[in-house]
Structure 1
Amino acid sequence: MISEIDAVKTVAGLMMAAARTAPKAMGIDSLVIQTIGREEMGAVAEKMDTLGMETGMTFFNTNADHVRNSDLMVLIGVKGRLPLGANCGGCGHATCAEFVKAAPTDADYPGPNCIFKITDLGIVTGSAVKCAASHNIDNRVMYTVGVAARRLGLMEDCTIVYGIPLKVSGKDIFFAETMAH
C-alpha cells in the first residue's frame, strides 16, 4: 500500500531533480540540494523559534509551526561566493577578483554574492515548487528556514538557503490560515 507520505517523498525527489536540471548561468552548478525529515525539521523549527524571539520577527515563529506540521522539507542553497568571471559588477564590485577579495558580511545571508548565482537560486527554486504544485503537494518557499538551516550548519558553504516544507492535507497549512485574517 502506498501512503501520502510516500507521495511526498517521491515528489521531493522530483523537486530535487527539477532544481538540479534547471538552467544555470554559464552551465555552472553551485547548488546544494537536500531533503530533511522530522528530526532535522524539529531542530530547524526550534532554531526558527529562537531567532523569532531574539529578533522580534514573529513570522519566524509562525513559519516554525508550519515546519513542525509539514511532512518533509527540501533545502536548496547556493555557494554564492563563487564567481563566474564575468566581471559584470552585479555583486557591487568592479571585477570578480575584487568580489573574491571582499570580506563576507556577518548577516543572515553573508554577501557579497555573485548575482548570477542568486539568479540561478531563484530559477531552480521556482522549478522545484512548480514541480511540487504540479503534483498537488502543498509547499511554500521560506527564507526563515534557510536562515535557521545555515545557522545549524545544514548547508555547508552555502551563502543563501531557502527551505521548502511539503505537506499533504485537506487544507493548505501554509496559506489557508493567513487568508482567513
Structure 2
Amino acid sequence: MQFFPRDAANVDRAQALVLIGARPARAGLKVCGHCGFESCEAAEAAGARCAFNMIDLGIALGSAASVASDNRLDSRVMYSVGKAAQQMGYAEFDVVWHGIPIAAYGKSPFFDRK
C-alpha cells in the first residue's frame, strides 16, 4: 500500500508508539443487524466481523488519542502501524490492531504529510 512508507517515516519521528487491538468476537444477539446482516449466524456464515468489537476499538483509539492531546502530545491513529506490527511478528493475527505514534515537538510530524 502506497501510504505505508509515509506512515513508517512518521513512526520514525515518534518518541513512543501505542498498539491497541480488539479480538473479533460475536455479540450473539438475536436481533441486531448493525454489521449489515440479519443475525450473528448470518454474519458468521459470510465471514463478517461483529460491529460491536470494531466500535469498541474505535472508542478506545479515540480515548487514547484524547489522553495524548490532554497532555499536549501529538498523535495520529494509523491502521498501517497495526498491520506492520503483525507482519513483523509483534502482534497476533487474530486481533485487529491500530497504532498511535506519540510525539512532542513544536509542530506535529503526523499532519501536513505528503
Calculate the aligned-residue CA RMSD, in Å.
1.9
| 1:143 corresponds to 2:110 | no
Q: CA deviation at 1:66?
A: 0.6
Is there any run of 5+ residues in structure 2 with no aligned partner, and where? none
TM-score by length of 2: 0.84
| Cα 1:89–1:150 shift into 2, 3 Å | farther
Distance 2:46 2:91 in 1: 22
Q: Is the 8 A contact 1:91 1:114 kept in 2?
A: yes
Q: Which of 3, 8, 27 is the aligned partner of 1:84? A: 27
**Corresponding position of 2:68:** 132
| 1:94 corresponds to 2:38 | yes
Q: Is the 8 A contact 1:70 1:167 kept in 2?
A: yes
Higher relative contact order (CA 8 A, sep 6+): 2
Letter in 1 for 2:51: I
**Corresponding position of 1:161:** 97
Is there any run of 5+ residues in structure 1 with no aligned partner, and where? 1-54, 104-111
Greater helix fraction, Structure 1 or Structure 2: 1
User: How many aligned positions are there?
Assistant: 112
Distance 2:38 2:87 in 1: 30
TM-score by length of 1: 0.56
Runs of 4+ off more than 4 Å: none
Q: Is the 8 A contact 1:77 1:155 kept in 2?
A: no
Superposed counterparts of 1:1-181, under 5 Å = 55=1, 57=2, 59-80=3-24, 82-87=25-30, 88-103=32-47, 112-156=48-92, 157-158=94-95, 160-175=96-111, 177-178=112-113
